[in-house]
Amino acid sequence: MATDFLMPKLAMAMNEGIVSEWLVEEGQYVNAGEPIASVETEKVSYDVESAEAGYFHILLPIGEATPVESVIGIFAVSEEEYQTIKNSLGDASVQVKEPDQKQQVKDVVAETPGKPVGVNAISGRIKSSPLARKMALDNSLRLNEIDGTGPGGRIVKKDILAAVERQSQQPKQSPVYGTLGAVELARISMTGARQTIAQRMRTSIDTAAQVSSSWESDVTNLLGLRQKYVGKAEQLGTKVSVNAFLIKAICYAIKQVPVANSRLEGNELVVYENVNMGIAVAIPAKNEYDSGLIVPVIKNVERMGLVQLDIEMKGIIQRAKNGELSVDDMSDSTITLSSTAGIAPPGMKTGPILNLGNVAIVGPSTPIERPIVNSGEIVVRTMLPMSFTFDHCLMDGEPAARFMRALHDCLEEPGLMLA
């Protein structure tokens, strides 16, 4: 009996997906566990494996968005059943087309007899991994000019890195004068990752009543406690970072005000017991004038000790910068940390924009030493600028203030986070 192949739901917030490439041919026999399609969400691309075996009939053209759990293909148990299905439903494979957003990396296939190595017979696209296509787009590379070393001539990450290295060794071109008569340093295409970031920022501002508040917390004692951990870095296996302490302080504040740890799902605000911490990470893009932003998620941070949390955090940040995140790594955050410490000037306060779906985001900045009054005396203490942005549609000012106070108290008395 034939079995439907559905558009997978790769993340809690995923409502629709796009097949950016069919990895099998129309009518091909597919084994269970074999990669069958590259599926794109608004965040990542992911190769989906088949859970079934059979002769596969394609129903969804490349580049066409469809809701999750919609039927996008059918497995037939025999060639005869496949032919019956194809005759009944029509041949969707002839409709396969390139998605508009991929035009900059559209594969140019020479019109020569036979099938070029690494070219998909259905779409005419050169076979490449989702990460390789993204890296090619970010670096303005043409896939048809790159030799793939993966299975079947597929272009993979190392092929793109080699092409980028070759590109960097080429001599720079003469200055290009723009329409204003000024010498142009770069043109940054508002497509791909940059387009996604822009759209998400605009959507966040348009859909949430965002309120940002700022203050300073005395973190002198916290930094002193951290130095004790740093002194044991060799036996602990990591030099525990300030961000690990910040995340534990946020967990403490969430215990006092659980509504800060929630997501909007449809018409319901879902408050969670476990804390899935989104970490805003700046990643390099195609040149020194551009940058990228990605938010990997560390799950269940409230259950972790400082050392485990620090190791998990550094690991996922490195995978983000290497372009090695999975769909699960990018999914289901319940609150977000966006730190500019060490980047922003000392004492600067920020007002980060909400990560879509979250009710709140915490934005620490670069510490600064200030003279303050402590126990009636003027002393120099290390003050940490803090910002808290929340959606006033979903969280009122009173619980927001209580959350900020709890976070402030924990930063100034770090023993609270270890209790």
Looking at the structure of the chain, the number of domains it has is 3
Where in the sequence is the domain holding 149, given as residue range(s)?
107-169
CA of residue 384 relative to chain centroid, distance: 27
Phi and psi torsions of 172, nearest 5°: -70, 145
175 in any annotated domain: no
Q: Which of 97, 125, 150 represents a domain boundary (last residue)? A: 97
Same domain, 337 and 367: yes
Q: Are 63 and 121 contained in the same domain?
A: no
Domain assignment present for residue 73? The answer is yes
Residue 89 CA to residue 370 CA, distance in Å, equals 73
Tokens encoding 258:
């659980």
Within-domain flag for 350: yes
If residue 211 lies in a helix (H) or strand (E), which one and from where to where?
strand 210-218
Does 244 reside within a domain? yes
Assigned token pair, 91: 């041949």
In this structure, are 10 and 84 located in the same domain?
A: yes
Bridge partners, residue 385, by sequence: 216
Of 97, 122, 146, the last residue of a domain is 97
d(CA 415, CA 365): 22
Q: What is the CA radius of gyration of the chain?
A: 25
* 203 in a structural domain: no
Sorted by sequence, the CB contacts under 8 Å of residue 191 that are 6+ apart come out as 101, 104, 137
The secondary structure of 161-210 as a DSSP string is HHHHHHHHTSPPPPPEE-TTSSEE-----SSHHHHHHHHHHHHHHHHS-E
Q: Both 304 and 362 in a single domain?
A: yes
40 and 158: one domain? no
**CA atoms within a 13 Å half-sphere pointing along the CA-CB vector of 361:** 27
pLDDT given for residue 204 in this prediction: 82
Query: Quick one: 276 and 383 in the same domain?
Result: yes
DSSP at 130: H
Pairing verdict, β 281-284 and 210-218:
unpaired
* Residue 68, domain CATH: 2.40.50.100
> Does any domain span residue 59?
yes
For residues 412 and 311, state if they share a domain: yes
Q: What CATH number has the domain bearing residue 244? A: 3.30.559.10
Amino acid in position 410: C
Locate 192 and state its tokens: 């791909």
Residues 375 and 301 in one domain: yes
pLDDT at 174: 61
Same domain, residue pair 301 and 259: yes
**pLDDT at position 186, please?**
65
Domain of residue 111, CATH code: 4.10.320.10
Residue 186 placed within a domain: no
Both 156 and 81 in one domain: the answer is no
Report the predicted TM-score, pTM, of the whole model to 2 decimal places. Answer: 0.64
- pLDDT tens for the chain, 419 residues: list them: 889 999 887 766 677 888 878 889 899 999 988 889 888 775 566 788 888 899 999 999 887 888 888 999 999 999 999 998 888 877 654 444 333 333 333 333 333 333 344 444 333 456 777 677 777 777 778 887 888 887 677 788 888 888 888 887 776 666 666 666 667 666 666 655 666 677 777 788 887 889 999 999 999 999 999 999 999 999 999 999 999 999 999 999 999 999 999 988 878 889 999 999 999 998 765 556 666 788 999 999 999 999 999 999 999 999 888 878 887 888 889 999 999 998 899 999 888 999 888 999 999 999 999 999 988 999 999 999 999 999 998 999 999 999 999 999 999 999 999 87
pLDDT at 110: 32
Last residue in a domain, options 62, 97, 132: 97
- 148: region left, alpha or beta (phi > 0 left; psi from -120 to 50 alpha): beta
Same-domain status, 348 and 213: yes
Residues 121 and 90 grouped into a single domain = no
Nearest C-alpha neighbor of 215 from the set 403, 22, 65, 29: 403
- 33 Rama class: left (phi>0) / alpha (psi -120 to 50) / beta: left
